[in-house]
Structure 1
Amino acid sequence: MPTPGLMFVGSRVIDPSKTSDEKYNRFYNEEHLPDVFSHGVCKFAVRYKNINTSSPMPYIALYPLEDVAFLQGPKLGKLVEDTKISRTFDNTDINEHVHFEPRGYEKIQTFEGYGNSDKSDNHPGKTVVCVAMEPAEGQDDDFDDWYRKQHLDMLSMCRGYLRTTRYKKLNGKKPRYLALHEYACKPDELPADQVKQVVATEWTQKILKEGQAYDRDVFELVQVQGDVSLKL
């Protein structure tokens, strides 16, 4: 049986003095994403920009995969090789201009906010809160229970919440777990007051205090291509 997953690609311009943000985004939106689709990688892709302007990962591209086997087979190598020479950058090696940080994940869970699962007009969130975590040693089951039995239920009551998709890193490097929390609002409209209450529970504080790693970034939607009725 196929195992659904995610190709998560962080990226940044190597030399901003030589490559403008406009040119970088033109490359990604008009050249790279269409090339990815032409290789049959996925049916839907979405790009986000980090609201933290000093972040070492200013952009992410998310490619939902029907089967994570793609990331371990020859098709990935062919994609990389076929898209190495960039038309936008005058037929030079794109790796001279853009730094990519690809990660592979298998899907664990999709949790829909109340009233969202049956909507026909599904759409990606205008904002995605990206949380990478590593639970305390030997506490993976408790970590999973926390998400399924408390955290997501409470989070779904916050204003603008759409859904959460959870993943586990294929190569086992820490932090292994990724949660993508999607919201219908823009980053400056996130319900910080409500989220503060959600993370104040005894169970949440235990998870955060004992965990080995916790990284949180907030991203704003840049581009969606492909079948927009699909979800992460």
Structure 2
Amino acid sequence: MCTPGLTFVASNVLDPAKTLDEKYNKFYNDEHLPDVLASGLTKLALRYKNINTESKMPYIALYPVEDASMTGSEAAVKLIQDTRKSKTFDGEDIYDYINFDIRRYEKIQTYEAYQQEGRSGNERGRTIICVGMEPGDEADFDEWYRKQHLDMLGMCRGYRRCTRYKNMDDQQPRFLALHEYDCKAEDVPSEQIKQVVATEWSKKIVGEAKIFDRNVFELIQAQGQTEINL
């Protein structure tokens, strides 16, 4: 049985003086995402924008795949090569304008928080909190997620689901959690979340983490079979 995976791409404009966000987003939305979907590597393409305008990771693109091994396939390598020359940038090499950080993951857990009347359970959250972590004790870290942390987050207002991944190339932080909320980023229940991470177990896990990286993103583009979840 295949293990589902995710191609995670963080990107940013190299020189804002040379490339405006408007042109960058036109390339991504009108040219690149359709090319990715046409390649057959994924059925869904999602883009998010960081609410922190000073972040080194202003945009991310997520491409879930049915088989994690597809993320490093010959087709994936060919897609990268074929899309280097951009029509939006008049045939110039897109890597001269945009920096891409590509990471490959395999899925390790999906947690569905709740279903309300009239909802199928497939609705996508408008906001995603992306947490990268390199734990001190991997077994304790996994047990914390499965036995306490997600159940408590699931009681927070607007919490939809969490999808957890492990990096396939041992890039640190190796573990990625994508927490989806139904609300806008400004309405994420920060006070409730503070209570969740105030438990002794939570403080131990976060305190022992070698890397803890948290970013908040809002969904800006969804193409392909948008009923699919991560």
TM-score interval, smaller chain: over 0.9
Shift of 1:121: 6.6
Shift of 1:2: 1.6
Q: Match for residue 142 of structure 1? A: 140
- What is the CA–CA distance in structure 2 between the aligned matches of 1:175 and 1:216, rounded to whole Å? 11
Q: Match for residue 64 of structure 1? A: 64
What are the Cα deviations for residues 181-226 of structure 1, in whole angstroms up to 9, with x where unaligned? 0001111101001001000111101101111110000011110111
Matches of residues 49-60 of structure 1 in structure 2 within 5 Å? 49-60=49-60
Aligned-residue Cα RMSD (Å) equals: 1.4
- What is the CA–CA distance in structure 2 between the aligned matches of 1:218 and 1:104, rounded to whole Å? 20
What are the Cα deviations for residues 135-154 of structure 1, in whole angstroms up to 9, with x where unaligned? 11xx2111111000000000
1:111–1:165 CA contact under 8 A, matched in 2: yes
Say which SS state the counterpart of residue 178 (structure 2) adopts. strand
Say which SS state the counterpart of residue 107 (structure 1) adopts. strand
Matches of residues 1-232 of structure 1 in structure 2 within 5 Å? 1-115=1-115, 119-120=119-120, 122-136=122-136, 139-232=137-230
- What is the CA–CA distance in structure 2 between the aligned matches of 1:166 and 1:63, rounded to whole Å? 14
The answer for unaligned runs of 5 or more in structure 2 is none
1:123–1:228 CA contact under 8 A, matched in 2: no
What are the Cα deviations for residues 141-177 of structure 1, in whole angstroms up to 9, with x where unaligned? 1111100000000001101110000000011122110
Say which SS state the counterpart of residue 15 (structure 2) adopts. coil
1:85–1:91 CA contact under 8 A, matched in 2: yes
Task: Supply the AA of the counterpart residue of 1:66.
Answer: E
Q: What TM-score do the two structures reach when normalised by structure 1?
A: 0.96
Shift of 1:72: 2.4
Task: Supply the AA of the counterpart residue of 1:164.
Answer: C
Shift of 1:45: 1.3
Shift of 1:73: 2.0
- What is the CA–CA distance in structure 2 between the aligned matches of 1:188 and 1:155, rounded to whole Å? 17
What are the Cα deviations for residues 2-40 of structure 1, in whole angstroms up to 9, with x where unaligned? 221100000011111121111111110000000001100
2:114–2:121 CA contact under 8 A, matched in 1: no
- How many percent of aligned residue pairs carry the same amino acid? 58
More moved, 71-80 vs 158-167: 71-80
The answer for unaligned runs of 5 or more in structure 1 is none
- What is the CA–CA distance in structure 1 between the aligned matches of 2:27 and 2:194, rounded to whole Å? 38
Say which SS state the counterpart of residue 9 (structure 2) adopts. strand
Q: How many aligned positions are there?
A: 230
Q: What TM-score do the two structures reach when normalised by structure 2?
A: 0.97
